Structure 1
Amino acid sequence: MAGNSEPLSPRAKLAVTAGKAAAAVSRAAGRGSGSVIGGRVALKLDPDLLARLAAHLDVVLVSATNGKTTTTRLIAEALRATGEEVVSNALGANMPAGITSALAGGSKARYGVIEVDEKYLAGVARDVTPKAIALLNLSRDQLDRAAETRMLAERWREGLAGSKAVIIANADDPLVVWAASSSANVVWVAAGQEWKDDAWSCPSCGGVMQRPGDDWLCGECGFRRPTPTWALSGDHVLDPHGSAWPIRLQLPGRANKANATTSAAVAAAFGVPPQVALERMYSVQAVAGRYDVVNYLGRDIRLLLAKNPAGWLETFSLIDPPPAPVILAVNARGADGTDTSWLWDVDYSRLAGHPIRVIGDRRLDLAVRLEVAGVDFQVFDTAEEAVRACPPGRIEAIANYTAFQDLRRAVGN
Structure 2
Amino acid sequence: MAGNSDPLTPRAKLAVTAGKAVAAASRAAGRGSGSVIGGRVALKLDPDLLARLAQNLDVVLVSATNGKTTTTRLIAEALRAAGPVVSNALGANMPAGITSALAGGSDAKFGVIEVDEKYLAGVARDTSPKCIALLNLSRDQLDRAAETRMLAENWREGLAGSKAVIVANCDDPLVVWAASSSPNVIWVAAGQMWKDDAWSCPSCGGVMQRPGDDWFCGECGFRRPTPTWALSGDHVLDPHGSAWPIHLQLPGRANKANAASSAAVAAVFGVPPQVALERMYQVQAVAGRYDVVQFQNRDLRLLLAKNPAGWLETFSLIDPPPAPVILSVNARGADGTDTSWLWDVDYTRLTGHPIFVIGDRKLDLAVRLEVANQHFQVCDNLDQAVQMCPPGRIEVIANYTAFQDLRRRVGN
Matches within 5 A, 1:51-90: 51-82=51-82, 84-90=83-89
Matches within 5 A, 1:334-345: 334-345=333-344
Partner of residue 235, structure 2: 236
Partner of residue 34, structure 2: 34
Tell me if the contact between 2:2 and 2:108 (Cα under 8 Å) persists in the aligned partners: no
Tell me if the contact between 1:59 and 1:129 (Cα under 8 Å) persists in the aligned partners: yes
Separation in 2, partners of 1:307, 1:390:
23
Scaled by the length of structure 1, what TM-score is found? 0.99
Helix, strand or coil at the partner of 2:21: helix
Separation in 2, partners of 1:98, 1:5:
25
Partner of residue 272, structure 2: 273
Matches within 5 A, 1:100-179: 100-179=99-178
Q: Does 1:195 align with 2:202?
A: no
Separation in 1, partners of 2:219, 2:374:
41
Separation in 1, partners of 2:85, 2:411:
29
Separation in 2, partners of 1:293, 1:58:
35
Q: Could you tell me which amino acid in structure 2 is paired with residue 8 of structure 1?
A: L
Separation in 1, partners of 2:129, 2:324:
44
Tell me if the contact between 2:2 and 2:106 (Cα under 8 Å) persists in the aligned partners: no
The runs of 5 or more residues in structure 2 that have no matched partner are: none
The runs of 5 or more residues in structure 1 that have no matched partner are: none
Separation in 2, partners of 1:141, 1:335:
11
Separation in 1, partners of 2:404, 2:372:
27
Scaled by the length of structure 2, what TM-score is found? 0.99
Helix, strand or coil at the partner of 1:384: helix
Tell me if the contact between 1:323 and 1:355 (Cα under 8 Å) persists in the aligned partners: yes
Separation in 1, partners of 2:100, 2:247:
32
Tell me if the contact between 1:26 and 1:32 (Cα under 8 Å) persists in the aligned partners: yes
Q: Could you tell me which amino acid in structure 2 is paired with residue 18 of structure 1?
A: A
Partner of residue 325, structure 2: 326
Q: Could you tell me which amino acid in structure 1 is paired with residue 167 of structure 2?
A: I
Q: Could you tell me which amino acid in structure 2 is paired with residue 30 of structure 1?
A: G
Q: Does 1:310 align with 2:309?
A: yes
Separation in 2, partners of 1:185, 1:2:
27
Helix, strand or coil at the partner of 2:383: helix
Partner of residue 403, structure 1: 402
Separation in 2, partners of 1:87, 1:70:
15
Deviations 1:95-142 (A, max 9, x none): 000000000001110000000000000000000000000000000000
Tell me if the contact between 1:3 and 1:56 (Cα under 8 Å) persists in the aligned partners: no
Separation in 1, partners of 2:311, 2:101:
29
Query: Which aligned runs of 4 or more in structure 1 are off by greater than 6 angstroms?
Result: none
Partner of residue 255, structure 1: 254
Tell me if the contact between 2:324 and 2:392 (Cα under 8 Å) persists in the aligned partners: no
Separation in 2, partners of 1:166, 1:116:
16
Residues 184 and 112 of structure 1, relative CA distance in 2, 3 Å threshold: same
Separation in 1, partners of 2:111, 2:198:
32
Deviations 1:73-102 (A, max 9, x none): 0000000011x1100000000000000000
What is the Cα deviation at residue 411 of structure 1? 1.3
Tell me if the contact between 1:167 and 1:180 (Cα under 8 Å) persists in the aligned partners: yes
Tell me if the contact between 2:63 and 2:116 (Cα under 8 Å) persists in the aligned partners: yes
What is the Cα deviation at residue 392 of structure 1? 4.1
Separation in 2, partners of 1:253, 1:313:
11
Tell me if the contact between 2:64 and 2:135 (Cα under 8 Å) persists in the aligned partners: yes
Tell me if the contact between 2:315 and 2:349 (Cα under 8 Å) persists in the aligned partners: yes
What is the Cα deviation at residue 390 of structure 1? 1.1
Deviations 1:133-165 (A, max 9, x none): 000000000011212100100000000001100
Separation in 2, partners of 1:107, 1:134:
24
Deviations 1:212-246 (A, max 9, x none): 11100000000000000000000000000000000
- Same amino acid, percent of matched pairs: 88
Helix, strand or coil at the partner of 1:140: coil
What is the Cα deviation at residue 5 of structure 1? 4.9
Residues 299 and 392 of structure 1, relative CA distance in 2, 3 Å threshold: farther
Partner of residue 96, structure 1: 95
Separation in 2, partners of 1:68, 1:134:
9
Separation in 2, partners of 1:338, 1:146:
12
Separation in 1, partners of 2:78, 2:148:
30
Tell me if the contact between 1:370 and 1:377 (Cα under 8 Å) persists in the aligned partners: yes
Residues 408 and 180 of structure 1, relative CA distance in 2, 3 Å threshold: same
